[in-house]
Amino acid sequence: MTPLCCWNLEQIAPEDCSSLRPGEEALLFDRKQRFLRRCLECPRFLEDVRLLGNESDGLASLFPYAMEELLSQKMQLTALSRQFDSRNREIRFLHEIGQVLQSSMDLDEVLAMALTAVTSGKGFGLNRAILLLVDPERQLLRGHFAVGPRHRDEANRIWQEIASNDYSLEQMGQHFFEQKMVAEKDKFRDLLELLSVPLNRREHLFVKTLNEQRSLCVDDLYRETAIDRSQVEALGVRQLLLVPLVSHNNPIGLLLADNIINHQPIGEEDIHSLETFALPVSFAIERAAYYLKLQEKLAQITEANRRLKEQQNLILRMEKMALVGKLTANIAHSIRNPLTIIGGFARTLSRSTDLDDSRRSYIESIVKEARKLEEVLQEVLTYSESLHPTLDLWDVNQMLTGIYSGLSDDLRLHAIDGRLQLDPGLPLLRIDFKKLSYCIRSIISNALEAMPDGGSLNLSTRRQDDDALILIVDSGPGMDPETLQAATTPFFSTKDQGTGLGLSLCARILEGHGARLEIASELGVGTTFTIRLKLTSEGTHG
Amino acid sequence: MARLLVVDDERDIRHLYAAELADEGYQVETAGSASEAARILQERLFDLIVLDIQMKGESGLQLLQKIVKEKTDTAVILCTAFSCYKDDFSSWLADAYVVKSSDLTELKSEIARLLAKRAK
């Protein structure tokens, strides 16, 4: 048989083979490669094979089987290679998106990037992506953000824009984040609100998928019972992919994706890819949320620091003022004594000098000038004292809270059960904070020492008619009437140590406040100290 | 006639107070230090003491504590150039606190008030 084709020649000329393409000139001299790459698809060669198969020995009739197998494997290889390319692209894409996700601390930026990736053709190419985030405070799976066209016209416009600009994925994400985020949020506001579901609706499709931490592709949403009808209508799509976002076993949110415009079926590979993608997205979202929290805390700390600095400055100023006060007091002392003597004797002299004595006017001048100097002195002192007013409006409850919190160690040490009960309706009172708190402290310290083996101490405030009462009740041994009487005299003390000034001084301080100290005591039961303060008319509730 | 003791380490102050208070009709003795005053108080009783605070040696406040501890019913007026001692709780033991002045009206009226209160 004379072959129709050139397959039996070692070398051929370009015009011998119609299957060769430009750039394949090397095949003209390589029979094996030519056969493997071109002959198998050449109709003339195939015709030769067919004719050969008709010949008597029949050996050539086996050829087509081998060729069929070869071609099929070649096709498989091409398909695999294509798949490989696509996977390769996917990995590159994941890498690209991963870098952005890792570097960004801005929640919105992360979300813009993630959802752009889901919806862009260079990414997963789904039509629409909706993100629901867990709101732990409100116990809600809240519609947070969505990306995608609402209808076909918008889709065409967007796709054309993307095609004409040839953005990279990162550029697209960035572009979206900077220019479209706000509008997009607004566009989907209704849908996002409608899709929000309370976390306690455990049977709801969204919450259930989130809790089971397994992605799900619902093929016919209209036949799904675990979702509200209104939500199905609003989504307006038959097939919906649900991918839970989970980080460190914590549910972060739920990603919904669909092909609302082109209705292309969502395949196994889409689901698998999105699941892989969901992992870094979850981490990034969680991290961004933490970062946000961190920033809030930082702002709080910065604010606290600022206030602390303010306080420090205030203290510094007060210390300076205190120094000024000390200085003026010292000056006052050294000036006041001689002034008292000069002016005092001048007054004595003036009184014993006759009215018509010419020296009398000189003496009067001395009296007058000394008086003037004293007035100046007084003014300076009044100013420096006004820096630390003694009587002022104070919240007695606040004072007691402060005293009580300073007692905790003592109470523990003496095994005393302490209790603080404050009347919140008590108005501010005009008191000398330092003196009154000294007074209360010394009553309490007496009470504590009267209970060396433990007991109870009750501090309370109460309003009674026009009085504010501070009550200090102990469960100590109590006092008999004689001891009670003696207790308020100076330097009385049943204690071995101490000044013995305590209660008498308290009585004196309280007297200065227009207040009374009442002591009721019963042997074996305990003692009740009642400080009765007058409510001031200027007092305001606070 | 009420008996007064003026305690001040400043000689001229003692003279001034003694002269002025004698004019008011009181029987006045003076002491130049807390220790001298303590000695005098051991020997004689007084109705009222005008007591300076800052003195060389023992201070007026220390003497005041002793006087109160003795439980005598002698009234004590702290008379000082310092108003800051009002914040020192040991000064609160005194019956009155007068800041020194060339005009002795306040001191005199405090003396009169306390003596009248004592007489009741």
Would you call A505 and B93 a contact, using CB atoms and an 8 Å cutoff?
A: yes
- Residue B83: the pLDDT is 67
**A:B CB pairs within 8 Å:** 83
Mutate to test the interface with A, among B84, B86, B93 (most CBs of A within 10 A): B84
The SS3 assignment for A239 reads coil
Burial pattern A190-206, b for ≥16 Cβ within 10 A else e, equals: ebbebbbbebeeeebbb
Domain ranges of chain B: 3-119
- Rounded CA separation A498/A479 (Å): 19
- Measure Cα distances from A515 to A14, A80, A468 in Å: 124, 97, 10
Q: Which residue of B has its CA nearest to A384?
A: B84
- Rounded CA separation A339/A342 (Å): 5
Please give, rounded to a whole number of angstroms, the shortest distance from the CA of B22 to a CA of chain A.
12
- Could you identify the residue written with the tokens 């698809």? A41
Q: Which residue of A has its CA nearest to B80?
A: A333
* Chain B residue numbers touching A341 (CB-CB < 8 A): 10, 12-13, 16, 102
- Rounded CA separation A172/A518 (Å): 80
* Chain B residue numbers touching A370 (CB-CB < 8 A): 102
- Residue A188: the pLDDT is 87
CATH class label, A104-266: alpha beta
In CATH, what is the architecture of A304-388? Answer: Orthogonal Bundle (1.10)
B3-119 maps to which CATH number?
A: 3.40.50.2300
Please give, rounded to a whole number of angstroms, the shortest distance from the CA of B98 to a CA of chain A.
13
Residue B14 in contact with residue B33, Cβ under 8 Å? no
Nearest to A348 among B20, B82, B87 (CB): B20
Q: Which residues pair with A244 in a beta bridge?
A: A254
Would you call B16 and A344 a contact, using CB atoms and an 8 Å cutoff?
A: yes
Mean pLDDT of chain B: 89
Give Rg (Cα) of chain B: 13
Nearest to A339 among B23, B93, B102 (CB): B102
- Residue A524: the pLDDT is 85
SS3 content of chain A, % helix, strand, coil (to 5): 55, 15, 25
Q: Where are the alpha helices (DSSP H) in A54-128?
A: 63-103, 107-119
Would you call A347 and B103 a contact, using CB atoms and an 8 Å cutoff?
A: yes
Residue B96 in contact with residue B115, Cβ under 8 Å? no
**Residue A477: left if φ>0, alpha if ψ -120 to 50, beta else—which one?**
alpha
- Residue A35: the pLDDT is 86
Amino acid at residue number A517: L
Residue A538 in contact with residue A496, Cβ under 8 Å? no
- Rounded CA separation B78/A508 (Å): 16
What average pLDDT does this structure show over B30-47? 94
- Residue A335: the pLDDT is 86
Residue A515 in contact with residue A403, Cβ under 8 Å? no
Q: What is the mean pLDDT of each run of 10 residues along chain A (542 residues)?
A: 79 86 87 85 83 74 84 90 80 76 77 78 79 90 86 75 70 76 82 93 94 92 93 92 89 91 84 81 82 89 90 80 71 83 92 88 91 82 60 82 84 88 88 80 85 90 90 89 70 44 70 81 89 70 40
Q: Which residues pair with A96 in a beta bridge?
A: none
Question: Is some CB atom of chain B closer than 8 A to the CB atom of A368?
Answer: no
- Residue A199: the pLDDT is 94
Crossing angle of helices A268-351 and A63-103, in 10° steps, is 10
Nearest to A343 among B69, B90, B102 (CB): B102
Domain ranges of chain A: 14-86, 104-266, 304-388, 392-534
Measured between its terminal Cα atoms, the distance across chain A in Å is 118
Per-residue pLDDT of B69-110, as tens digits, reads: 776 789 999 998 876 666 666 677 788 889 888 899 999 999
Q: Do domains A304-388 and A392-534 have the same CATH topology?
A: no
Interface of B with A (CB under 8 A): 10, 12-13, 16, 19-20, 23, 54, 68-69, 71, 81-84, 86-87, 89-90, 92-93, 99-104
Fold for the domain defined by A392-534: Heat Shock Protein 90 (3.30.565)
Residue A396 in contact with residue A423, Cβ under 8 Å? no
A222 membership: H or E segment, kind and range: none
Neighbour-count burial of A68, counting CB atoms closer than 10 A to its CB (0-12 exposed, 13-18 middle, 19+ buried): exposed
- Residue A1: the pLDDT is 64
Indicate the pTM of the whole model. Answer: 0.44
In this structure, the strands spanning A455-464 and A416-421 are parallel
Q: Which of these, A210, A215, A222, A305, lies nearest to A257 by C-alpha position? A: A215
- Rounded CA separation A506/A531 (Å): 10
- Residue A155: the pLDDT is 75
- Residue A386: the pLDDT is 55
- Rounded CA separation B93/A500 (Å): 12
- Measure Cα distances from A148 to A181, A241, A303, A410 in Å: 11, 15, 41, 67
